[in-house]
Chain A
Amino acid sequence: MLKLVGVSKTFFPGTANERRALRQVALELAEGDFATVIGSNGAGKSTLLNVIAGSLATDGGAIMIDGRDVTKLPANRRAGLLARVFQDPQAGTAPHLTIEQNMSIALTRGRRRGLGPGVGRRRRAEFREQLAVLGLGLENRLKTRVGMLSGGQRQALSLLMASFTRPKLLLLDEHTAALDPARAELVTALTEKVVADSQLTALMVTHNMAQALRVGNRLVMMHEGEIILELCADQKRRTTVADLMDRFTSVKGQMADRSLLS
């Protein structure tokens, strides 16, 4: 479903501030794969998602989604294939539009938008049904402006907006990091539910190793722009947080040695 070949991204190339955020990253997700992504700050996780979504252009390599080469496609034209939820609960919704209007924009993601009504009776019924899945009572607040919702509610809504249209690929970038633990838990549970229900292919960045091991069927660890560890479902089940920490420290050591030598 998703295939990355030799994807690189360097910020400020050729200057003193040069940052190689992605180095020859290769990654393949089969349909229905749910991979968690971990790595220290600055490892390139967000850059990876931004490159896949098209909000950043790659310097080299190719990106395929559902068999289509999207490497050169601008972000808004990839939206028909993928949907994303950002870390910032404010980022995924339009605060001055109502819940149903936000849902309408999500529903028409990647389609041509004409002069038909944004929210008609049929759509409203569908939105109500979808919102009920969240169990937050939002289905009774269709005409509430999203800016009036709490961070947790907004993030749950963003998640629903990203998923109910069944995109080929769902990208989640630390989407629970800005929430308090209880709400983070709720949104994580919702994430697992919607991904399972709609059998989505998903890539979820998290800073919580336990969560990364618990959720999804694959795990990817990044460090300094490289994927340094990939676990399949079986391996994942047998791995503990301590194992991950060990792996991380040893790889870090190796990489430090390598850079000393070179």
Chain B
Amino acid sequence: MQNAIEQGLIFALLALGVFLTYRILNFADLTVDSSFTTGGGTAAILIYNGADPYLATAAGCAAGALAGLITGLLHTKLRIDPLLASILTMLALYSVNLRIMGGPNVGLNLRDGQPVETIFLPLKQAKLMASWQAVGILAAVALALTVVIVWFLATNFGLAAQATGDNPQMAVAGGISTDFTKIVTLMISNGLVGLSGAVYAQFQGFADVGMGIGLILVGLASVIVGNAILGTRYMALAVLGVVVGSVVYRLVLYYAIYWEIAAAGDMRLISAVLVVIALVISQSERLRGWAARISPFRSATIPEPLTAPELRAEPAEGPTPADPTPADPAPARPALVRPAPADPDQGEEG
């Protein structure tokens, strides 16, 4: 079980990244599936060639951020739809990842009979993997990043990023360069995803070109589950919820397999169904009201769509004459119902 929690905490970094794009920017970013591998592959190849594991991990984070930059540029400069821009980056990165790693995988356990020095080597040598100590260390890292993200979102720039996703028209009228906030937030998001990949590659002892496939679903499921548990009323709880959601997701997976309810290969299907259910709930006012009533946190427990006119306390007042102004339409939500391409041959994340 500790192992499942460790995994949950490592994937929490990825889920935090997904939170930034999906919840804050309202941007369906599928870059994740490849930027995770870019981060993992970059760190792995550097470590394999003798680089300092911490520097290599940082490099993995930077490589992920670069992937986010590409998606951001495709979307803002070339005006490509978010979903398509991120799919293009994701597909292109597959080839790049193969180049980075110089092959489909890089092993990080032994080299020339010597254990490879990863950030987990001290823990491994002390036989502390899958221990509560290791859980504590990883939890501290995840919580530190949670604090940084909560702080970031409350800064002037963070508020600008939030406004960009919440009401782009207002953001522009407020002098916010939504192109810039999108690019920066995508970079931070994919930087976190790359970091998650870098840590995970060292955790499992290898990087594999397919290690990121389907992870957007894992990230979304973590965000949705976590926000359902801790609510979205307070930003700190919403962000913390993402970490909690990631751990809960791993534990559910662990026990589903442990009690032989599901096989490891079923998890993609279960994740997809979970995400669909959560999306349906978040789009249906009636279901949301019902879920809010039965939940212990009452208000705003179920993630609501980012543009929710129904949130208004009063019904629309008076007639709203149709106006053909382009500035008028409410910001559209990205369609997130299309899941990432699933690869049935892939086991569940290694």
A147/B159 in contact, CB under 8 A:
no
> Does B258 have its Cβ within 8 Å of any Cβ on chain A?
no
- Complex alpha-carbon distance, A151 and B316, angstroms: 7
Beyond A90-B330, A91-B169, A105-B160, whether A178 also contacts B311 by CB under 8 A is no
Beyond A109-B174, A152-B317, whether A46 also contacts B156 by CB under 8 A is no
> Does A61 have its Cβ within 8 Å of any Cβ on chain B?
no
A115/B173 in contact, CB under 8 A:
no
Q: Which residues of A contact B330 (CB under 8 A)?
A: 90
Which residues 271-328 of B have a CB within 8 angstroms of A? 306-309, 311-314, 316-321, 323-328
Q: Which residues of A contact B319 (CB under 8 A)?
A: 178
A116/B156 in contact, CB under 8 A:
yes
B317/A56 in contact, CB under 8 A:
no
B179 (CB) vs chain A CBs: closest residue? A76
> Does A60 have its Cβ within 8 Å of any Cβ on chain B?
no
- Complex alpha-carbon distance, A109 and B175, angstroms: 5
Contact of B171 among A83, A94, A110, A177 (CB under 8 A): A94
Interface residues of B (CB under 8 A from A): 152, 154-160, 162-163, 166-167, 169-178, 306-309, 311-314, 316-321, 323-328, 330
Contact of B175 among A47, A90, A111, A207 (CB under 8 A): A111
A118/B156 in contact, CB under 8 A:
yes
- 6 closest residue pairs by CB, A with B: A79-B175, A147-B311, A113-B156, A94-B166, A150-B314, A118-B159
What are 27 sample pairs from A and B whose C-beta atoms fall under 8 A apart? A42-B324, A46-B324, A46-B327, A50-B326, A55-B327, A76-B171, A79-B174, A79-B176, A83-B173, A86-B169, A87-B321, A88-B320, A91-B167, A93-B167, A96-B306, A97-B166, A105-B159, A113-B157, A113-B160, A113-B176, A118-B156, A147-B311, A147-B312, A154-B312, A174-B321, A178-B317, A180-B318
B159/A80 in contact, CB under 8 A:
no
Contact of B308 among A76, A95, A152 (CB under 8 A): A95
> Does A84 have its Cβ within 8 Å of any Cβ on chain B?
yes
- Complex alpha-carbon distance, A63 and B74, angstroms: 31
B159 (CB) vs chain A CBs: closest residue? A118
Which residues 88-129 of A have a CB within 8 angstroms of B? 88, 90-97, 101, 104-106, 108-111, 113-119
Q: What distance in Å separates the Cβ of B283 from its nearest Cβ neighbour in chain A? A: 16
B175/A148 in contact, CB under 8 A:
no
Q: Which residues of B contact A84 (CB under 8 A)?
A: 173
- Complex alpha-carbon distance, A150 and B311, angstroms: 9
A105/B155 in contact, CB under 8 A:
no
> Does A53 have its Cβ within 8 Å of any Cβ on chain B?
yes
Q: What distance in Å separates the Cβ of A17 from its nearest Cβ neighbour in chain B? A: 12
B167/A95 in contact, CB under 8 A:
yes
- Complex alpha-carbon distance, A86 and B329, angstroms: 11
> Does A179 have its Cβ within 8 Å of any Cβ on chain B?
yes
> Does A23 have its Cβ within 8 Å of any Cβ on chain B?
no
Name, among B156, B169, B324, B326, the residue most crowded by chain A CB atoms within 10 Å (CB to CB). B156
Which residues 210-240 of A have a CB within 8 angstroms of B? none
B325/A46 in contact, CB under 8 A:
yes
Contact of A149 among B154, B158, B313 (CB under 8 A): B313
Beyond A76-B176, A90-B309, whether A117 also contacts B317 by CB under 8 A is no
